[in-house]
Structures are given as C-alpha cells and as structure tokens.
Amino acid sequence: MSDTTEHNNRILVTRSSIAPLDEYIEEIRDIWDTHWMTNMGTKHQMLQQELTAYLGVEQLDLFTNGHMSLELSLQALELPKGGEVITTPFTFASTTHAIVRNGLVPVFCDIDPDDFTIDVTQIEQHITEKTVAIMPVHVYGNICNAEGIQRIADKYRLKVIYDAAHAFGEEYEGKGVGTLGDISCFSFHATKVFNTIEGGAACFHDPEMGSRLYDLKNFGIHDPETVATVGANAKMNEFCAAMGLCNLRHVDEEIRKRKRVAERYRSQLEGVPGLQLNAVQKSVKPNYAYFPVIVEENIFGTTRNEIFDALEQEGIGARKYFYPITSAFDCFRGKFDPVETPVALHVSEHVLTLPMYADLALEDVDRICETVMRMQK
Ligand SMILES: *Cc1c(COP(=O)(O)O)cnc(C)c1O
C-alpha cells in the first residue's frame, strides 16, 4: 500500500462538517458588493438571530471563538480578583484557563463517574468565603445536574457559568441548554457539532450583561469618540458567520447521522465487560458529540493505552480526551494536586473517545469495534 492510500484510508477521530461549497460561495457573494468583512455586519446579525431562535435562548452574542466567550463572560461578571471558582479538571484547557486568566482561582471538585460532569454532592464542601462562582462543564454533551447546581448557587449567592462547548443544540427537560445558569458558552470550533470555522457564543438573560460583553469584545468602543471600557477584540468576522449560516441549515441532518454512528457503536460495545459507555440521560435531547469509552483493564484485559496503540496500527485515530486533567498540566505544576479529584483522575487515565462524525461509515464503525474487541483478553 502506498503512503497516500494509507493516508486516505486513515480514520480520524473527527472530521469537520462543512456545507456544500456552492452554498458557501452564494452566502459570501454579497461581501464582495459591500466590502463589509467584519464588525458586526449583516452575516453576524443574521447568525445571531438564527442561533438565538435555534438554541431557544433569550440573548446571545457571538465571539471569535468559544474560549473568548468563556473568558470574557467571566470578566463581564466583574467578580473580585482572587475569588474562587468551583469547577472540574476533567475538561479542555479552555475552562480552567478562562478562570486563571481572569485572576480568579480554580477550585477543583470531582466528577460524577457516570456522566463525568461535576458531582453536585461534593460542591458544598469546596465553598469558602472567597467562593464567587461555579463553572461546570457539560462534558461530551452530558448535561450537568442543573437544578442541584442552581440550588447551591442560590443558597450561597454564586454566579453559574456553564461551559456548554460540547452541548450545541441539546435540550434539557425540553428547554435549550443555553438557558441554564447566568451564562452558558458554546464553541463553534471546526471540530464541534456545529461550526463557524472558529467561533463561539455566550447566552444569558440579563441585557446589562449583553452590553458588558459587547464592550469586552469590541474594545469598549461606543462611538468613534467614546471608548467607555478597556475591552478586548473578540468579534466574529463575516466569513465565519457566513459559514455558520450555511452549516446551521444542515446541522439537524448532521446530528441525525451522528445518531446512527452512536447507535452502531452501542450495538457492538454495549454490555462488554470492562467497557463503560457514556450514560444515556433521559431528560436530555442529545447531540452525539463524542463517543467515549472507559476501559477498565482489570476486567477487559488490556489497557486504554494498548487499545489506543492497536487502533493507531490500524490507521484509526482515537483520542485520550480528556487526558491529562487540567489540574495536572505543566503550567500549573505545584499549584494543584490531581489526586484530590480521584474520579476525574481515574477517568482521564482510562478514557478513549472513538472516532465520531456525521459521515463516518457504519462499516468503519464495525472495523473500529472489531479492533477494540480483538484486544479483549
Ligand atoms: C472546544 C472547547 C472549548 C473552547 O472552544 P474554542 O472554540 O476552541 O475556543 C472550551 N471548553 C470545552 C470543553 C471545549 O471542548
């Protein structure tokens, strides 16, 4: 087999959804008439409207990426410097970095072993007089125990900012997940269920929050002669917004196709001793963003890393996601002790996310499952 065939046959862990080229060209055509390429043009305004409706949220603002929506949302809440934010380390770097980059202190709570979201029964033990907010993550699109979190937030007067990067288009008890908490932030990165190439959004209820977020993403400029606050620049440009408008037309179909892939995986891996699949949440309309498998080597017979290597050999790209946990990052060495969240640490050392995207062929899913099952001892 030549190198190129090998390359072509390789199954990547994800493959970005992208609308047909003709559709995108049609969508961006009028940018050549107006020369309006960024600064909240018509594409930006349309996408903002369409996403507000699609996600079923009150207010939504667009950002250059998901991370800036998280980082600026925390900043917009004007929390006291040095304040503690209760969060989990079983997440992407962005969540923890957003806290630290705001001069706030992450306090790591452990996760629930079934859905990998924050364990609500452990939140209160982390609360001190310095606690200012809770920042939970809907890991793999599994929705956090929102009532439990809100009850604690109300009792201690804490803000709640959800990292909803994995939860695009999901509903929790019939309501858009973007309505949860004070603010919910989505990522529209190319690898996510819905993408704008790079992009993100913050969803919120308070219009005052909207004007602060707007200031923060556009230098605090109110008019050419009035700069009211020290803002950053995190505007979504028109080409990204245009990609979003196109991709949004196809996203329901993309999620349906992901569902087929997830069901195929389940039909082959469900009930295999030593393989824990993602919990199915009854009150959630899922988006099938990821297909995580937890490998317990003392039952299955081989380790996560051995399976990862075997898949690599077959040209199948799986991902150790999330590994390591953020509290074990080099940049935080000496600051946190990863052992303090034993469940998160264990899951990070045993999890493998298998390839998952809308166009993944079911025969390829079969081949992936066969490769995994060959490793059973
Ligand atoms: C992707 C992701 C982000 C950051 O989003 P970007 O758009 O890549 O900046 C934040 N949190 C989680 C959990 C993510 O997966």
pLDDT tens for each residue of 201-225: 999 999 999 999 999 999 999 999 9
CA dihedral 353, 358, 359, 361 (to 10 degrees): 60
Instruction: From the CA of 198, give the closest atom in ligand 1.
Output: 7
- Does the pLDDT at position 147 exceed 70? yes
Is the C-beta atom of 184 inside 6 A of ligand 1? no
Both tokens of 135, joined, read 């920042």
Instruction: From the CA of 189, give the closest atom in ligand 1.
Output: 7
Beta-sheet pairing, 159-163 with 131-135: parallel
**DSSP state letters, 66-96:** HHHHHHHHHHHTTPPTT-EEEE-SSS-HHHH
- Does the pLDDT at position 7 exceed 80? no
pLDDT range class, residue 6, cuts 50, 70, 90:
very low
pLDDT tens for each residue of 249-289: 999 999 999 999 999 999 999 999 999 999 999 999 999 99
Nearest CA to 145 among 163, 119, 123, 184?
A: 119
Beta-sheet pairing, 275-277 with 226-227: unpaired
pTM more than 0.95? yes
Percent over 90 (pLDDT), the chain: 98
Is the C-beta atom of 289 inside 6 A of ligand 1? no
Q: What is the pLDDT of residue 8?
A: 63
